[in-house]
Amino acid sequence: MNITCISDTHNLHERLVLPKNGDVIIHAGDFTEAGTKREAKAFFKWFSKLPFDYKICIAGNHDFYLENLSKEELNEIIPKDVHYLNDESISINGCNFFGSPYIPSTYNWAFTKTHIEIEEHWKKIPQNTDVLITHTPPKGILDQSNQQNEIGCSFLRKEVELKKPKIHIFGHLHENYGSVKLNETLFINATSFINDLKITNNPIRVNLSD
């Protein structure tokens, strides 16, 4: 199974150069900039048309419009062939994907939790998760800002080390695009957008073996 990873496109998704086809494409959040309904609908319309067998996405801290929608309201704007995960799992050909949009923050962003709340929150990650999708990075892994600060979540890293997914895909921190393998997990910071309003990073494609 091949997986194409993107994140943090901030309304610039149509500038991406994607593979012509594939098994799974994953967007790890921040597909909008101002977080409006119009932006979200435009993204989902584009995402739904991509030539991939499965399309999975989570929200990010910019995606305000989705934060308080009911299941019924989400179904009205999200196409049926798009799997939007909000602390949910999906199994594809025996591979278990779990996605969560939350970040540790006390600022006025979407999908935030305090550090106390988020420690308990990450315990929801199922033990049998093969591919973990979060918006925030784990602490100390592809999470260093230009100011040399590590902005990832320490509680998430602890849980990843316990659950040992094969792949952990995230974004949020624009400066640390790339991938690294530590122990049993391949970590991917899939951010596509850099702060000068240009898409500068290619989608990251990986193969998930059984």
- Predicted confidence pLDDT, tens digits, the chain (210 residues): 999 999 999 999 999 999 999 999 999 999 999 999 999 999 999 999 999 999 999 999 999 999 999 999 999 999 999 999 999 999 999 999 999 999 998 688 999 999 889 999 999 999 999 999 999 999 999 988 766 677 899 999 999 999 999 999 999 988 889 999 999 999 999 999 876 667 789 999 999 975
pTM value > 0.75: yes
Q: Which residues pair with 185 in a beta bridge?
A: 182
Residue type, 51: P
Angle at 147 between CA 104 and CA 140, to 5 degrees: 50
CA distance 123 to 125: 5
Looking at residue 194, its pLDDT comes to 74
Alpha helices, DSSP H only, in the chain?
A: 37-48, 71-77, 115-121, 154-163
- The number of distinct structural domains making up the chain is 1
Nearest CA-CA partner of 82 in 114, 48, 105 = 48
E strands in 29-79: 52-57
- Domain ranges, residue 50: 2-207
Give the CATH number of the domain where residue 120 resides.
Answer: 3.60.21.10
Paired sense of beta strands 193-194 and 198-199, if any: antiparallel
Residue 27 to residues 44, 58, 106, 120, 146, Cα–Cα distance (Å): 11, 7, 24, 24, 23
CA separation for the pair 2, 5 (Å, rounded): 10
